[in-house]
Amino acid sequence: AQKVTQAQTEISVVEKEDVTLDCVYETRDTTYYLFWYKQPPSGELVFLIRRNSFDEQNEISGRYSWNFQKSTSSFNFTITASQVVDSAVYFCALSEVIQGAQKLVFGQGTRLTINP
């Protein structure tokens, strides 16, 4: 079975610090997809990024960047110059395909608190 592990349960930093959220996954599939979602205090799940297993290029979007390394089965997420609005629970997820359908397997989430 596929599994996602986010070992950091909670992280607290001061505004403007850089912070990295770790994500390690397990899968036997050769083709798979990884996602990051943000869940702010209001509760909704906001899509941040999708990465397929064949694309190991790192991606940067503003203050956000993602480091995908197949060799270590990791898909880490870095926020540069953090802001209070970045405070949220962040979930890493793996796409598992069963009988042609797709479901997401989530990690336990990392609660990130940015202090002013």
Partner 1 sequence: AAGVIQSPRHLIKEKRETATLKCYPIPRHDTVYWYQQGPGQDPQFLISFYEKMQSDKGSIPDRFSAQQFSDYHSELNMSSLELGDSALYFCASSPTGSPGDTQYFGPGTRLTVL
Residues that bind partner 1 (CB under 8 A): 31, 33, 35, 37, 42-47, 50, 52, 91, 95, 97-109
Q: Least distance to partner 1 from the beta carbon of 13, Å?
A: 21
Q: Least distance to partner 1 from the beta carbon of 49, Å?
A: 9
Partnered with residue 101 across adjacent β-strands are 98
* CA–CA gap between residue 106 and residue 7 (Å, rounded): 13
Q: Least distance to partner 1 from the beta carbon of 104, Å?
A: 6
32 by DSSP, 3-state: which?
A: coil
CB nearer partner 1, residue 84 or residue 97: 97
CB nearer partner 1, residue 11 or residue 104: 104
String of b and e for 35-69 (b: at least 16 CB within 10 Å)?
bbbbeeeeeeeeebbebebeeeeeeeeeebbbbbe
Q: Least distance to partner 1 from the beta carbon of 11, Å?
A: 16
Nearest Cα to Cα of residue 112 among 79, 65, 81, 68: 79
CB nearer partner 1, residue 71 or residue 99: 99
Parallel, antiparallel, or unpaired for β 24-26 and 110-115?
A: unpaired
CB nearer partner 1, residue 12 or residue 31: 31
